[in-house]
Amino acid sequence: MKTFTKKDVLEKAAEYNVKFIRLQFTNIFGTLKNIAITIEELERALEGQVSFDSSVIEGVVGRYESDILLYPDPSTFVIFPWRPREGAVARLICDVLNPDGKPFDGCSRSILKKNLALAENLNMQFQVGAEVEFFLFQTDEAGKPTVTTHDQAGYCDLTPVDMGENARRDMVLTLQEMGFDVSSSHHEIAPGQHEIFLKDDDALAMADSITTFKFVVRTIAQRHGLHATFMPKPVSEYNGSGQHLLLSLWQNDSNLFYDENNPKGLSKAAKHFIAGLLEHAGALTAVANPLVNSYKRISANDLAPVLAGWSENNRSAMIRVPSWRGPGTRVVLRSPDPAGNPYLVMSAALQFGLDGIKKSLTPPEPLADDIPTWEIKKVIRQMGLPRNLEDALRAFRQDKTAWHALGDAISSRYLEEKEKEWERFQSKVHPWELEEYLRNY
């Protein structure tokens, strides 16, 4: 992570002729928000003196409101490359505080910092990499998004078949100019689907990066006349979009997931961590797969991570352990989708993994490399992830470790609003129902 100070921010802003600064923050449900201030207000903002009401963070305007403050993190200062250089626009990511200076209990970024501090007390550092998938769709004459893909390309295709290559290149260049460490990018399996791989970083920096990443990708797509969506499953016929998280724990510059004395190079800590994730798989799914639509992606097919299990090669497992060993040993959490709040997903994953280490939990045997599609449906009944949002929320509500990871305030608000979302879905008649039933009943 960068180590800018408040003084550095003021100097950089003056050097690059910044006129506007967006103070960005994320609400409980992972939506990026901001307040724009002028350069004249920057010094006051850096002291945490910009206030607003708490309903913006809770995601529900009109509830009981309390005064809260934005406290910018100087290390997140960056200038938007796509804005004019004259009168430039920059951003700062903020923590949300109460007027007394203590973290606001609805601030998901502060929750992640709290969980990381618990790991630090155990002399552990949590590192995360991210493979983020998204679709690029055409827009109509009014500029509204459609579900018409801009190409018919497939996995790792290139131009002229991959018509999104120029947009993806501009996204990567913009991200790099903003300080992102991008490992790779390519066209994904489905038409119009793409992936960009962000290299491992401190978990807080990665959560900040993923939040910014989605904002940048959508902005650059719009400049190419396209709409970028991180909706998990926007088209029934195509694979959905995932957000694979590459997790590792470090101690004194050593990867705790690697054991050179183990025949397979995987340490006891790694196996306990995996067991913790699997033990809390239901609650984790409620956070990592937060939409009704999320469960259309994690359905029975040969690519979706639908099983609460682990494997080196089986893509139906929610956890995969790649064959790399040594410092490159990682536990890949494959089940999350890009609609989740990264601060909460990482908080939950860390706490569940540490719970496995604390209790010395033992994971089940790794899944066989290949399970035929017809057999997956049977296995799902035995060890599948929740089949819908309601089931996942029920698992979260009953999981004390999940409440501890996210805190009572966020947990209760998240459950309340997500349960309302499920009920809204349940009360609607959907086109599939009309096609299936209207003529016959």
Q: Over range 179-205, report the average pLDDT.
A: 94
Work out the percent of the chain whose per-residue pLDDT is above 70.
Answer: 96
Of 30 and 67, the one with more pLDDT: 30
pLDDT per position as a tens digit, 413-440? 999 999 999 999 999 999 999 999 999 9
CA distances from 140 to 143, 145, 194, 371 (A): 5, 6, 21, 41
Q: Over range 149-163, report the average pLDDT.
A: 74
Beta strand ranges found along 225-336 (DSSP E): 226-229, 243-251, 254-255, 307-311, 317-320, 331-333
Ranges of H-type helices in 280-430 = 281-288, 294-297, 342-358, 373-383, 389-397, 400-406, 408-427
Rounded to an integer, what distance in angstroms lies between the CA atom of residue 155 and that of residue 438? 39
pLDDT tier, 323 (very low <50, low <70, confident <90, very high otherwise):
confident
Evaluate whether 177 touches 188 at the Cβ level (below 8 Å): no
What is the pTM assigned to this prediction? 0.95
Distance of CA 228 to the CA centre of its chain: 16
Please check the confidence at residue 327 and state whether its pLDDT lies above 60: yes
pLDDT per position as a tens digit, 66-92? 788 999 999 999 999 998 888 899 999
Rg (CA), the chain: 22
The string of DSSP codes covering 24-89 is EEE-TTS-EEEEEEEGGGHHHHHTT-EEEETHHHHT-TTS---EEEEEE-GGG-EE-TTS-STTEE
Please check the confidence at residue 350 and state whether its pLDDT lies above 60: yes
pLDDT per position as a tens digit, 245-294? 999 999 999 999 999 998 889 999 999 999 999 999 999 999 999 999 99
Please check the confidence at residue 1 and state whether its pLDDT lies above 60: no
What is the structure's pLDDT at 290?
98
pLDDT per position as a tens digit, 80-125? 999 888 889 999 999 999 999 999 999 999 999 999 999 999 999 9
CA distances from 149 to 137, 145, 168, 251, 415 (A): 5, 10, 14, 45, 34
Average pLDDT, the chain: 92
Rounded to an integer, what distance in angstroms lies between the CA atom of residue 325 and that of residue 361? 22
